[in-house]
């Protein structure tokens, strides 16, 4: 009898089933667990109280990223609660024998930048972290999803998680992205289409010619944002682009093991005829640069668009939500996005803090000046990204243009450290969330790609990056 065709998600899932339990849940084996300072202290404390150990330290990697300072960290962390949290992580990794990249190590950075860089993230694996943007690692054809602290404790103790199978969704992006646009625009366009709950209960496999054409870093940006569509995870089937990225990474297999791994990884694609519960296809050929206008990633528009009128909302709940978002953002209905004055520009985060993002922003910034009205920060995603950028002279381009060049971390994406918006400041940000208060109380976030962020910094207002390309 022939096996029924399976999706990529089905294949990874099936391989990791340890046990099907009487209540229908599956005990799923977890290959890779990333740990950071904010969502782990209570989990380690739970282990300590129960007298448990970390079952598989070699499948675990810890790094501090969420609350760390992005300037002058050699002098220590001045915010006391942040310092105590990093110290707690350091004490915990020592006590439980978990591999750790210290704050002053060159390899330190945002967990979702570090995992791929180190070759810790590999195709066909299951990857979890107490952070919703764990979906980033799906770019490698790994089943990667965010978990809560109780689940962090569960994985530390048992290397497994009780799980229920998600539904299969496929999103194909076809066509060729126009110049000046990137994977962030694809992600924002998709979320605009299906909403922030559009992927709830699903794992989204991304495919199509425009996804195949993306670099690994671009695929990471796309998968990173799949959580903003509500999806459990995003996935891209591994291919030559994937293998070329992974080969030679410090924790990647070598020699005979590499050949063996490759043989397996080549089988990681959805079978012809595999059934998807939901399918969607978007053509990116005429895509315009995307910007959000409100306080949910689904409130996206072409940069040429204008804010909506709540009176035109399809439901009363949406009418209220749009009105609330407009009021929070300090915008009237019908306001064109282009030309909105900006106070702050943030380039960085697990969405857009990798070397290609910095190169894309630097291409726009080169030879130009940040508007005097704007404070612009560039925060590399890791120490290795920072070092690479400095080898390429990108730091000089940014500094000469008037950007701040900072040390790696999550920074103003969530503002747990000092990097926050002041009340009512408007920010063009390459991060992933524009929620109320996300970047600072009463701060107003417009999500954009790195090219658009750099263009806004120079112009002093939201603008269409395509104009900069023509110049």
Partner 1 sequence: MERFESLTGIAAPLLQANVDTDLIIPKQFLTTLVRSGLGRHLFFEIRYDRGGLELPEFVLNREPFRKASILLAGPNFGCGSSREHAPWALRDFGIRCIIAPSFADIFFNNCFANGILPIPLSLPDVEALAEIEGPLTVDLAAQIVSGAGRIWRFEMDPGRKATLLEGLDEIGRTERSLPAIEAWETGREGQRPWL
5: tokens are: 């065709």
At 401, phi and psi to the nearest 5? -80, -10
**Shortest spacing between CB 132 and partner 1, in angstroms:** 4
CA angle 77, 67, 234 (to 5 degrees): 155
Please report whether residue 29 would count as binding partner 1 according to CB under 8 A: yes
Cβ atoms of 224 and 132 within 8 Å: the answer is no
Element holding 351 (H helix, E strand):
helix 349-352
Please report whether residue 23 would count as binding partner 1 according to CB under 8 A: yes
Please report whether residue 253 would count as binding partner 1 according to CB under 8 A: yes
- Answer for which of 6, 90, 107, 162 binds partner 1 (CB under 8 A) is 162
- Within 8 A by CB and 6+ apart from 77, the residues are 67, 68, 69, 83, 86
**Shortest spacing between CB 46 and partner 1, in angstroms:** 8
Q: Which of 247, 173, 250 is nearest to 205 (CA)?
A: 173
Please report whether residue 313 would count as binding partner 1 according to CB under 8 A: no
- Answer for which of 12, 190, 222, 261 binds partner 1 (CB under 8 A) is 261
Q: Scanning residues 163 to 182, which ones bind partner 1 (CB under 8 A)?
A: 164
CA distance 40 to 150: 9
CA distance 191 to 230: 9
Please report whether residue 258 would count as binding partner 1 according to CB under 8 A: yes
CA distance 195 to 201: 13
**Shortest spacing between CB 448 and partner 1, in angstroms:** 19
**Shortest spacing between CB 133 and partner 1, in angstroms:** 9
- Answer for which of 71, 107, 158, 213 binds partner 1 (CB under 8 A) is 158
**Shortest spacing between CB 255 and partner 1, in angstroms:** 10
CA distance 365 to 341: 18
Please report whether residue 267 would count as binding partner 1 according to CB under 8 A: no
Neighbours of 179 (CB within 10 A): 10
Piece in contact with partner 1 (CB under 8 A), picked from 36-44, 94-102, 104-112, 272-280: 36-44
- Answer for which of 176, 264, 369, 391 binds partner 1 (CB under 8 A) is 264
- Answer for which of 62, 82, 177, 211 binds partner 1 (CB under 8 A) is 82
Site track 317-356 with partner 1 (rule: CB under 8 A), x = hit: xx-xx--x--------------------------------
27: tokens are: 């005990």
Determine how β-strand 426-429 pairs with β-strand 444-447. parallel
Q: Scanning residues 94 to 153, which ones bind partner 1 (CB under 8 A)?
A: 122, 124-125, 130-132, 145-151, 153
**Shortest spacing between CB 14 and partner 1, in angstroms:** 13
3-class DSSP state of 447 = strand
Direct distance between the N- and C-terminal alpha carbons of the chain, in angstroms, rounded to an integer? 62
**Shortest spacing between CB 350 and partner 1, in angstroms:** 12
CA distance 448 to 355: 17
Please report whether residue 215 would count as binding partner 1 according to CB under 8 A: no
**Shortest spacing between CB 288 and partner 1, in angstroms:** 25
Q: How far lies 417's CA from each of 70, 78, 135, 152, 378, in Å? A: 8, 10, 23, 23, 15
Q: Scanning residues 288 to 307, which ones bind partner 1 (CB under 8 A)?
A: 296, 298
- Answer for which of 260, 267, 285, 304 binds partner 1 (CB under 8 A) is 260
Please report whether residue 444 would count as binding partner 1 according to CB under 8 A: no
Piece in contact with partner 1 (CB under 8 A), picked from 100-108, 209-217, 259-267, 282-290: 259-267
Q: Which of 345, 329, 343, 342 is nearest to 411 (CA)?
A: 345
Q: Which of 222, 138, 212 is nearest to 175 (CA)?
A: 212
Cβ atoms of 379 and 238 within 8 Å: the answer is no
Piece in contact with partner 1 (CB under 8 A), picked from 109-117, 340-348, 380-388, 434-442: 434-442
Please report whether residue 201 would count as binding partner 1 according to CB under 8 A: yes
Piece in contact with partner 1 (CB under 8 A), picked from 355-363, 370-378, 391-399, 412-420: 412-420
Element holding 146 (H helix, E strand):
strand 143-146
**Shortest spacing between CB 439 and partner 1, in angstroms:** 9
């Amino acid at each position: 009898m022939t096996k029924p065709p399976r999706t990529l998600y089905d294949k990874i899932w099936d391989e990791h089933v340890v046990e099907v339990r009487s209540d229908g849940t599956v005990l799923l084996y977890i290959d890779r667990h990333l740990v950071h300072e904010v969502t782990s202290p209570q989990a380690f404390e739970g282990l300590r109280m129960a007298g448990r150990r970390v079952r598989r330290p070699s499948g675990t990697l810890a790094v501090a990223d969420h609350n760390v300072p992005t300037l002058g960290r050699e002098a220590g962390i001045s915010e006391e609660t942040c310092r105590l949290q990093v110290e707690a992580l350091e004490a915990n990794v020592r006590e439980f024998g978990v591999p750790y990249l210290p704050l002053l190590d060159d390899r330190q950075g945002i967990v979702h930048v570090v995992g791929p860089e180190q070759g810790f993230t590999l195709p066909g694996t299951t990857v979890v972290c107490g952070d919703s943007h764990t979906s980033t690692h799906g770019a490698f054809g790994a089943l990667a999803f965010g978990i809560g602290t109780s689940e962090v404790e569960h994985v530390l103790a048992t290397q497994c998680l009780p799980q229920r199978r998600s539904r299969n969704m496929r999103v194909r992006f076809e066509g060729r992205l126009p110049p000046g646009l990137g994977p962030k625009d694809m992600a924002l366009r998709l979320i605009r289409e299906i909403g922030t709950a559009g992927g709830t209960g699903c794992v989204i496999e991304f495919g199509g010619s425009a996804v195949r054409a993306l670099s690994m870093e671009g695929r990471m940006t796309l998968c990173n944002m799949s959580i903003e569509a509500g999806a459990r995870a995003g996935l891209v089937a591994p291919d030559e682009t994937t293998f070329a990225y992974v080969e030679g990474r410090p924790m990647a297999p070598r020699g005979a093991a590499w050949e063996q791994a490759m043989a397996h990884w080549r089988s990681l694609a959805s079978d012809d005829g595999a059934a998807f519960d939901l399918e969607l296809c978007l053509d990116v050929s005429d895509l315009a640069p995307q910007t959000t206008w409100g306080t949910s990633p689904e409130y996206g528009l072409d940069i040429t668009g204008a804010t909506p009128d709540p009176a035109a909302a399809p439901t009363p709940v949406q009418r209220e939500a749009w009105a609330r978002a407009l009021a929070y953002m300090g915008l009237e209905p019908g306001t064109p996005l282009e030309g909105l004055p900006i106070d702050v520009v943030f380039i960085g985060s697990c969405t857009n803090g990798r070397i290609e993002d910095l190169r894309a922003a630097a291409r726009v910034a080169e030879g130009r000046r940040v508007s005097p009205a704007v404070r612009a920060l560039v925060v590399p995603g890791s120490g290795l990204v920072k070092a690479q950028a400095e080898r390429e002279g990108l730091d000089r381009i940014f500094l000469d243009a008037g950007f701040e060049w900072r040390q790696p971390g999550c920074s103003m994406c969530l503002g747990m450290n000092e990097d926050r918006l002041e009340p009512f400041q408007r920010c063009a940000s390459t991060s992933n969330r524009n929620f109320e208060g996300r970047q600072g109380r009463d701060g107003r976030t417009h999500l954009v790609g790195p090219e658009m962020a750099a263009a806004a910094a120079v112009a002093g207002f939201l603008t269409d990056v395509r104009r900069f390309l023509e110049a």
